[in-house]
Structure 1
Amino acid sequence: MTLTRRTFMLATLALPGCTALGVLNDAAAPRDTYALQPVSSAGQTRRSSRTLLVLEPSAAAAIATDRILIKQDPLSVTYLPDARWADTVPNMFQTVLIQSIASSGQIGFVGAQGAGPVPDAVLLTRIDAFGVDRQTDGSFVARVSFELTVLRDRDQRVLGTQRFATVLPVADDRADTIARSFQAALEALLPQALPWVAARVG
C-alpha cells in the first residue's frame, strides 16, 4: 500500500457518509509505535559543573501530537493511519535532548523541570517542522527544523539563539523507514547542536 493511498484512506474517514462508529473503531485500532533515540556526541571531552534545565519544546498543534505528520501539499495536514510516536513530538524531543546532552558529558547536570538542582541555564526549544513532505515529483522527504535558545537562569539573559534544520529523502513509504529517516535527521543535527548548547552554558 502506497503512502498516497494510506493518506486517502485517512481522509475518507472525515467524509459525511462515514459513521461515527467507524471513526471510533479506526481510532482504537492498534498502531505500530516508534521512539527516537538519543544521539551521541563523539570526541567531546570537556566537562563543566554547570546545570541545565531543558524545558518542553513548543510546537504548532499539527506537530504537538503522537501522530506522524504527512503533508501532501503546503495547505494539507494528514497523518500516517497505522503508526504513531511513543509520545507527543515535544515530549519525545525533550527526552532525546536531555539524554543526548547528558551523554555528551559536557555539562554537569541536565534535567527536566522539577528535577535536580537550581539550573545555571535554561534551554528553550521551538520545533518548526517535524514531518514528511510530498514533493512535486511524488517523492517524500523528512523535514526537521528547530530553534534553540539558551537563557541564563538568574536574570533570564539570552545567551544565544540558533536554528538547526535538515531535509532527508525517505526511501519508501513504510512507517519504519519514515521513523528511521527522522532518526537520521537527529543524528545529523544534534552533533551540531550539542556543542553549541554546551558553549553557551559555559
Structure 2
Amino acid sequence: MHLSRRNFALGALVLPGCSTLDLLAPSGPVREIYQLQPVSLDPQGGRTSRSLIVLMPAAPAALSTDRILISADPLTVQYLPDAAWSDSVPQMLQSVLIRSLASAQRIGFVGLQGAGPVPDTVLLTRIDAFGVAVLPQGGFEARVALELTVLRDRDQRVLGTRVFTDAIPLTDDRADTIARGFQTLMDRILPEAATWVLARAA
C-alpha cells in the first residue's frame, strides 16, 4: 500500500515518504489521515475514443463522511476518534475508481461529470458497506460491499450490474491496521471490478 503523510499546523508542511497524513487542528488533537490508493492495470486490447463518467457513489449517511466507521453491531454507528480518511468515503472511492479505470488505457476519457466530453457510458456506484465490524467472538473485520452499474448515456440502458464484496480479518483496531486492511481489500476488489466495467464501457 502506498500512503503519504503531511503535518498541518496553522499551515501545511509536506513530509514525503511517510505512511499517513497527520492533521493538527489549532483547537483539536492530532488526527491520522489515511488515503487509499488505486490499482494499476496492465493495458489490454486497443484504446477506444469512448468516454466514461464515474458519478459520485451513493452511500448511507453513516458512510457519507471522512470518519472511519467501526461498529459492534448493525444498529450502532461509531467512528475511530483520532483518525479519518482523506475525503468522504464516496469522494475517496470515486477518485480510486477513476484512477484505476484510467490506468488500463482502454478508454479515451475516464473522469468526473462535467470535466470532459459528453459520456458514452456512466458508472453508478452504491456503497453498501465500508467499515469495521467488531466480531461477537472477538476480533475485528474490515468489510466492503459495492454495487456497480454501467449505463449507456444516450438511452439510459443498463449494460450490467454487479455486486463486489470482500472482507478481511484485522489483528487489532488501530487506525494504521484498519487503513492497511482496507487497502488490501481495494487491491483485491478493484482489478476485477475495473475489468468488469471496462468490458461494458470500452
- Give the TM interval when normalised to the shorter protein: 0.7 to 0.9
Question: Aligned partners of 2:52 and 2:173: how far apart in 1?
Answer: 38
Taking the TM superposition and a 5 Å limit, the aligned residue runs for 1:173-192 are: 173-192=173-192
Show the counterpart of 1:121. Answer: 121
What is the CA distance between 1:43 and its match in structure 2?
5.9
What secondary structure sits across from 1:56 in the alignment? coil
Question: Aligned partners of 1:46 and 1:93: how far apart in 2?
Answer: 26
> Normalised by the size of structure 1, how large is the TM-score?
0.84
What is the CA distance between 1:173 and its match in structure 2?
1.9
Give a deviation string over 1:141-172, Cα, whole Å, max 9, x none.
00000000000011111111010000111122
Show the counterpart of 1:89. Answer: 89
Does the aligned pair in 1 maintain the 2:43–2:103 contact within 8 Å?
no
Does the aligned pair in 1 maintain the 2:41–2:104 contact within 8 Å?
yes
Does the aligned pair in 1 maintain the 2:125–2:148 contact within 8 Å?
yes
Matched to 1:29, the amino acid is: P
What is the CA distance between 1:186 and its match in structure 2?
0.6
Higher strand share: 2
> Normalised by the size of structure 2, how large is the TM-score?
0.84
Q: What is the percent sequence identity of the aligned residues? A: 62
Matched to 2:175, the amino acid is: A
Show the counterpart of 1:149. Answer: 149
What secondary structure sits across from 1:81 in the alignment? strand
Does the aligned pair in 2 maintain the 1:45–1:105 contact within 8 Å?
no
Give a deviation string over 1:3-38, Cα, whole Å, max 9, x none.
xxxxxxxxxxxxxxxxxxxxxx9x933311000001
Alignment pair present for 1:29 and 2:36? no
Give a deviation string over 1:70-92, Cα, whole Å, max 9, x none.
01112111000010000000000
Alignment pair present for 1:79 and 2:44? no
What is the CA distance between 1:105 and its match in structure 2?
1.2
Show the counterpart of 1:165. Answer: 165
Show the counterpart of 1:193. Answer: 193
Give a deviation string over 1:108-154, Cα, whole Å, max 9, x none.
11010110111100000000000000111111000000000000011
Give a deviation string over 1:45-73, Cα, whole Å, max 9, x none.
44222100000000000011000000111
- Root mean square deviation, CA, Å: 1.5
Show the counterpart of 1:139. Answer: 139
Question: Aligned partners of 2:43 and 2:103: how far apart in 1?
Answer: 12
Matched to 1:112, the amino acid is: L
Does the aligned pair in 1 maintain the 2:68–2:131 contact within 8 Å?
yes
Where in structure 1 do 4 or more consecutive aligned residues deviate above 4 Å?
A: none
What secondary structure sits across from 2:94 in the alignment? helix
Question: Aligned partners of 2:72 and 2:46: how far apart in 1?
Answer: 44
Change over 3 Å in CA distance of 1:154–1:43 after alignment to 2: closer
Show the counterpart of 2:21. Answer: none
Does the aligned pair in 2 maintain the 1:69–1:131 contact within 8 Å?
yes
Show the counterpart of 1:130. Answer: 130
Higher helix share: 1
Question: Aligned partners of 1:41 and 1:194: how far apart in 2?
Answer: 9
Show the counterpart of 1:12. Answer: none
Matched to 2:160, the amino acid is: G
More RCO (CA 8 Å, sep 6+)? 1
Unaligned ranges ≥5, structure 2: 1-24
Does the aligned pair in 2 maintain the 1:53–1:123 contact within 8 Å?
yes
